[in-house]
Amino acid sequence: MTSTLQGTTPAARAPRARRGIASLPFLAPGTIFLIVFMAIPVGLLFFYTFFKRGRFGGLVFEFTLDNWIKLAEPLYLGVILQSIVLALIVTVLALLIGYPMAYAIAGLSPTWRTVALIAIVLPFWTNFLIRTYAWILLLNNAGWVNQWLQGLGLTDEPISMLYTPQAIVVGLLYMYLPLMVLPLYASLQQLDPSLREAATNLGASPWRAFRTVTLPLSLPGALTGCIFVFVPAMSNFVIPELIGGGKTIMVGNLVRDQFFEARDWPFGATLALLLTILLVLVILVQTAVSRRLTEGPRRG
Amino acid sequence: MADATVNPSTTAMRELEPAARPRAVRKPRGILVPLWLGYAFLYLPILVVVIMSFNDSENLFVWRGFSLRWYPELFQNEQMMQGLVNTLIVATGATAIATVLGTLLAYGIQHYTRGGFVRAFAIAPAILPDLLLGIGLLTLFSLLSISLGLHSVILAHAVFATAFVTAIVLARMATLDPSLEEASRDLGAGPVRTFMRVTLPQLAPGIVAGALLAFTLSLDEFVIAFFTTAPTQPTLPIVIYSMVRFGVTPEVNALASLLLLVSIVTVIAAQRLTRLTGTPK
Amino acid sequence: MTTAPLLRVEGVRAVYGDTVALHDISLDIADNEFFALLGPSGCGKTTLLRSIAGFETPESGRIEVDGRDLLRMPPHKRPVNMMFQSYALFPHMSVERNVGYGLEAEGVGRSELRSRVQEVMAVVGLEHLATRRPSQLSGGQRQRVALARAIVKRPRLLLLDEPLSALDRQVRASMQLELKRLQHEVGLTFVVVTHDQEEAMSMADRIAVLRDGRLEQLASPQELYADPATRFVASFIGTANLFDGTATATGVDVPGIGGVAATHALAAGDAATAVVRPEDVELAVAATSSLRGTVVDTYFLGGASTISIEVPGLAAPILATVHGATRIARGDAVGVRFGRAAVVAREAAAASVDDDADADADAAASDVESGDRSPAGDAPAPQEEVSA
C-alpha cells in the first residue's frame, strides 16, 4: 500500500539510526577510497597551483600566485573566453533543440516513452571516439555530407566544414545533447498536470499556459541540463583536436598540453581548477533559481 | 528540485479514480517533428558507421558493395584486440570494486546519515570534470611513484563507477519498504544478518543495474584512462584515438557496430532488471 | 424549473475504452444554486464535472450554459471555473499572482485587477497572505487561494472537485460552513463533486445521486433522506434499515415482520423494500410488542446512541437511534415498532447485494433475507446492467 502521508515515501519515514560503530563497515570503505582517490588528488592539484614547475619537471616549492595570474594573460585569457563562448553556444543550441524533444517525449504514452528514452541514451553507448570519427567521415571534404550536397546539386565544390569552430560546435552538441534532454524530460514529466489544466481553466490559451506555467517550472531541469553540458563542453579536448584540427584551442586542450607537452603541471592544474570553479558556480545558480522559484524572493 | 509541483494528494486520490483517465492535453500539432529531427541528428553518424562496416572497400568514403570482411579482419588487428582485452580487464576490475563500495555506501548513507554531505561526496565524481579527475590521479600516482598501467586505470575508473553505483542503489533503496527490515530486527536478526538476508536480495536488481551501468561507462571512458595509463597499455578508446589521429582502418567501423550491439543488449538488460521485480509498494 | 436553468445537461454519454462512464445523463442546475454531484468512486461524477470544464469530451449529448453550447468551446473560453481537488496552485507564483492569473489571461487592466484581487482575498480571508508562496501555506489556506482564484473571475458556474477531501476533520466542518456562506455572499452557482454524503447533505440545495454512470435521484437533501427513489439512494444516504418484501395496499409485507405501514405508489404484489430510518424505530417493552428482539450492541455517540437489535427470522440486526445515553444494555429483550417508513421498488436480487457500498458511508444497511427469496431470475424488476 502506498503511503499517502504528504510528500513522504515509506523509506523516507524510516527513522535514521544514529551514526555509530554500526555504520562503519558500510560507510568507511567507500569513503576512504574516495578520499584517497578523489579528494586527495583534487586537493593535490589545488596545492600545485601555488607552485611553479621545476626546470626538469617536478616542482619548485616556492609559494607563488603566478599560475593564477597567468590565466589573465591575453593568450590564455583568449582561449578561456573562446571556450566559454563556444560552450555557451553549444549549451544554448542544446536547450533549443533539447526542449522540444523532452517536451515531446513527456507527452508520449508510457511504453513509447521508455522506447524514446532508450533511443536518446543509446548513442551514448557507442564509443565516443568512434562517434567523433564518424563526424569526420561526414564532414570531410570528401566526406558524406559533401557527397550528398554535390549529388543533390546544391553545391559545385566541396564545402570545407571540418576543422572549423562550427564543426566543433556540431561535434560538441552531438556529444552532449542527450545530457540536456534527460534532466529536462525528468523535470517536465514531474509537473503536476492539473497545474496546466488550472491555467487553461482560468482562461489562459494553450500558449499562455505554456509560457507562464510549464516553462518557468521546467527551468530547474533546464539548468541541470546546462550543468551537464556547459562545463563538460569546455573541458572536452578530443573534439576540438580531432574535428577542429587543433586550430581552435579550448581549455581542455590547454590542460592536456600542459601535462604532456609543456610539462607545466601547476599551470595545467590551475586551468582544471578554473573549470571546476565554473562548474560550482553553475551548480549554485541552478540551486538558487530552483529555490527561488518555489519559495519566493524572501525566505517565508 | 521543486517539491511543490508534485502534489501527493493528487496521486493518492487518483488511485480512487477509474484507471484510464485520458487527460485532454491538446498537444501542439507537429510536436513530434523536432523529436524525429533530433533522433535523425543523433543517429546519422551511427548509421554511417554501421553501414560502412559492411562496405566492401578500404575507402571510407565510397560504397563498393556489401561485405562482411571487416568483422573477421577486426579480430586480426592485434592493436585493437589488445586494446579490447585491456578495456575488458579494466572495466571488470573497476566494476567489481565499485559495486562493493557503492552498495555499502548507499546502504550507509540511507540508514546512517541525515545531512546530504556524505551523499554529495559520494556522487561528486560523477559530476566533476573527468579532466580534473584524470590529471589529479596522474599527479597522485606520480607523487607516490606508483607506476602507471592497467592497475592505475582500474583504480581511476573505480572512482566514478562507485559514484554511479551509489546513486543507482540509493535510488532503489528509497523505494523499499523499511518495515521489512524492522520486522527482521524484531524477529531477532542483527544488522549484518538483516542486511545479508533481507536488504541485499531486495536490492539485487538495483545493484546489477548499477554494475551494468558502471561497466558500460568504463568500457567507453577515454579521458581518465588517457591520463592514468601507460603508453604500452592502451585501452580500446585510446587505441581508436591514436588511429583516428594517424590513420583509420575500416575495421574500426566493424568494431563500433559490435560495441553498439553489446551496449544495446546491456541497456535493455539493465532496463528489464530494474522493472522485473518492480518497486515493492 | 420555473425559470430557464443555468446549466443544462442532456443525454450526455461518456466512454473510456470499454467502460461506459456516463449513460445518457440529463439534469438541470439553476442559477445561484448550491448543487452537489454525489456518488461512490467510479460513479461518473468526476467525469461529468470534467466534461463541463472541458478536460474531457463526452461521446454524445449536449451541455449548455445560458443556452449556449458549451461543448463547442475550448476549455479556456468557457464561462466555467474549477477548483481542483489538489488545488493546483502555481508554486512559482505568490498568492496574489495566483489569484490574479485568470484576470491577467483575460487582459484585465492592472488597477482593476489589483482591486478585484484584493476584494476577493478579503472575502475569503486571505489579505495578509498576499505575498506568500503556496509552499508556505497550510492546507486550509491553500484551499482558500484556490477558491479565490476561481471566484475572482465571476464565472457563471463554479465547479469544485472534492473540495474538502484533503482537509482534516476539524477544518472540514468549518470549511463546509465557509463554502455555504461564500456561495451565498458572492452569489455564484456552485457545483460540488463529492463521495461524502454527509458533506453533500449539509451544503447542497439539491443533490444528484449518481451510480455507475446513471442518475439515481435528483432532489433536495430532505427529500433524498425521507423519500429515496431507489434502494441504492436509501442505503447510500444516511443509515437505513431495509426490509425486502411485497407491496400491499397499506404498505409492505415483510416476511418475518409482518406488515410495515407506509404510503407508496406501487401496485399491490410488486416487489418492494421498506426503508426505515433508525430514528423512526421505536423501542418498547418486549412483553407487549408483536415484534421482539435482543439487543446485540449499543454505541454511544455523544448526542445519541445507536442500538443494534437482533430479531429472530431477520438476517441482519435492526438499528435504532435514541437521544442521549441509554440504559438499555446488551442482552436486554426489547420490543420494536416502526414509525414512518418509505418504500422503494425492489431491484433484482443479484443487484441488491451492496457491491458498491462506499467505505465512508456510515450506512450499516441491514438486508433482510427472506427464507423463500427466489434467485435472480424471478425478480420482476429489469436486470441491472453490470458495467465494468
ipTM of the complex, rounded to two decimals: 0.82
| Claim to verify: residue B155 and residue B231 sit in the same structural domain | yes
pLDDT at B280: 40
> Which of A187, A191, A194, A202 should one mutate to test binding to chain C, selecting the residue with the greatest count of C CBs within 10 A?
A202
Q: How confident is the model at residue A18 (pLDDT cuts 50, 70, 90)?
A: low
Q: Domain count of chain B?
A: 2
pLDDT at C194: 94
pLDDT at A51: 84
| Span B135-140, average pLDDT | 92
Query: Three-state SS string across chain C, please?
Result: CCCCCCEEEEEEEEEECCEEEEEEEEEEECCCCEEEEECCCCCCHHHHHHHHHCCCCCCEEEEEECCEECCCCCHHHCCEEEECCCCCCCCCCCHHHHHHHHHHHHCCCHHHHHHHHHHHHHHHCCHHHCCCCHHHCCHHHHHHHHHHHHHCCCCCEEEEECCCCCCCHHHHHHHHHHHHHHHHHHCCEEEEEECCHHHHHHHCCEEEEEECCEEEEEECHHHHHHCCCCHHHHHHCCCCEEEEEEECCCEEEECCCEEEECCCCCCCCCEEEEEECHHHEEEECCCCCCCEEEEEEEEECCCEEEEEEECCCCCCCEEEEEECCCCCCCCCEEEEEECCCEEEECCCHHHHCCCCCCCCCCCCCECCCCCCCCCHHHCCCCCCCCCC
Residue B237 lies in a domain: yes
The residues with which C305 forms a beta bridge, in sequence order, are: C300, C322
To the nearest whole Å, the CA of A33 is away from the closest chain C CA by: 40
| Claim to verify: residue B129 and residue B210 sit in the same structural domain | yes
pLDDT at B234: 92
CB contact under 8 A, A212 and C101: yes
| Claim to verify: residue B51 and residue B110 sit in the same structural domain | no
Domains of chain C: 7-218 (3.40.50.300), 239-378 (2.40.50.140)
Residue B223 lies in a domain: yes
To the nearest whole Å, the CA of B24 is away from the closest chain C CA by: 5
In the predicted structure, residue A258 carries a pLDDT above the cut 80: yes
Among the ranges A33-47, B231-245, C287-301, which has the highest mean pLDDT value?
A: A33-47
pLDDT at C347: 64
CB contact under 8 A, C85 and B9: yes
pLDDT at A19: 54
| Claim to verify: residue B48 and residue B112 sit in the same structural domain | no
Q: Which chains touch B (3 or more CB pairs under 8 A)?
A: A, C
* C168-C169-C175 Cα angle (round to 5): 85
DSSP state of A53: E
The whole-angstrom separation of Cα C79 and Cα B144 is 76
**What's the pTM?**
0.76
| Claim to verify: residue B167 and residue B244 sit in the same structural domain | yes
| Span A252-280, average pLDDT | 89
Residue B94 lies in a domain: yes
Q: Which chains touch C (3 or more CB pairs under 8 A)?
A: A, B
> What separation in angstroms does the CA of A201 have from each of A5, B173, B256, C70, C119?
28, 39, 52, 13, 21
| Span B98-106, average pLDDT | 93
Chain C contacts in chain B segment 123-182 (CB below 8 A):
none
C87: which chain B residues are within 8 Å (Cβ-Cβ)? 7
Among the ranges A5-14, B204-213, C62-71, which has the highest mean pLDDT value?
A: C62-71
Residue B18 lies in a domain: no
Q: How confident is the model at residue B117 (pLDDT cuts 50, 70, 90)?
A: confident
Identify the domain containing residue B37 by its residue range: 30-68
| Claim to verify: residue B51 and residue B186 sit in the same structural domain | no
| Residue C41 near chain B (CB below 8 Å) | yes
To the nearest whole Å, the CA of A63 is away from the closest chain C CA by: 49
pLDDT at A225: 92
B1: which chain C residues are within 8 Å (Cβ-Cβ)? none
**Looking at domain A85-293, does it have CATH number 1.10.3720.10?**
yes
CB contact under 8 A, C165 and B13: yes
The whole-angstrom separation of Cα C14 and Cα A111 is 26
In the predicted structure, residue B10 carries a pLDDT above the cut 70: no
CB contact under 8 A, C16 and B22: yes
| Claim to verify: residue B106 and residue B245 sit in the same structural domain | yes
pLDDT digits (tens, 9 = 90+) for B86-99: 999 999 999 999 99
Asked whether the beta carbons of C161 and C49 are under 8 A apart, the reply is yes
| Claim to verify: residue B99 and residue B58 sit in the same structural domain | no
| Residue A159 near chain B (CB below 8 Å) | no
| Span A147-174, average pLDDT | 83
In the predicted structure, residue B248 carries a pLDDT above the cut 80: no
> Which of A35, A118, A126 should one mutate to test binding to chain B, selecting the residue with the greatest count of B CBs within 10 A?
A126
In the predicted structure, residue A298 carries a pLDDT above the cut 60: no
pLDDT at A96: 94
To the nearest whole Å, the CA of A29 is away from the closest chain B CA by: 6
In the predicted structure, residue A2 carries a pLDDT above the cut 80: no
Residue linked to cell 529555490: A291
CB contact under 8 A, C17 and B3: no
Residue that wins the pLDDT comparison between C115 and B62: C115
CB contact under 8 A, A196 and B25: yes
Amino acid at A41: P
pLDDT at B262: 81
**Structural domain spans, chain A:** 85-293
Of the three residues B68, B96, B131, the one that is the final residue of a domain is B68
CB contact under 8 A, A200 and C75: yes
pLDDT at A115: 87
Using DSSP bridges, classify how beta strands C251-254 and C241-247 pair: parallel, antiparallel or unpaired.
Answer: antiparallel
For C32-47, b/e burial (b = at least 16 CB within 10 A) is ebbbbbbbbbbbbbbb
A7: which chain C residues are within 8 Å (Cβ-Cβ)? none
| Claim to verify: residue B54 and residue B125 sit in the same structural domain | no
The whole-angstrom separation of Cα C381 and Cα B257 is 70
> Which of A2, A95, A127 should one mutate to test binding to chain B, selecting the residue with the greatest count of B CBs within 10 A?
A127
Return the CA Rg of chain B: 23
Residue B9 lies in a domain: no
| Claim to verify: residue B63 and residue B97 sit in the same structural domain | no
| Span A105-121, average pLDDT | 87
Q: How confident is the model at residue B5 (pLDDT cuts 50, 70, 90)?
A: very low
Residue B81 lies in a domain: no
Q: Which of C54, C88, C106 sits opposite A195 (nearest CB)?
A: C88
Q: Give me the CATH number covering residue B152.
A: 1.10.3720.10
> What separation in angstroms does the CA of C226 have from each of B126, C220, C340, C353?
69, 10, 9, 22
Residue B103 lies in a domain: yes
CB contact under 8 A, B178 and A130: no
Give me the tens of pLDDT residue by residue for chain C, a chain 388 residues long: 457 788 999 999 998 878 888 999 999 999 999 999 999 988 889 999 999 998 888 999 999 999 899 999 888 888 999 888 888 899 888 999 999 998 988 888 999 999 999 999 998 888 899 999 998 998 889 989 999 999 998 888 999 999 888 788 888 888 898 899 889 888 899 999 999 998 999 999 999 999 999 999 999 999 999 999 999 999 999 889 998 888 888 888 888 888 888 888 888 888 889 999 999 998 888 888 888 899 999 988 888 899 999 988 888 899 999 888 888 888 888 888 888 888 888 765 444 444 444 333 333 333 433 333 333 333 343 433 333 3
Sign of CA dihedral C165, C169, C175, C176: positive
Residue linked to cell 568504463: B218
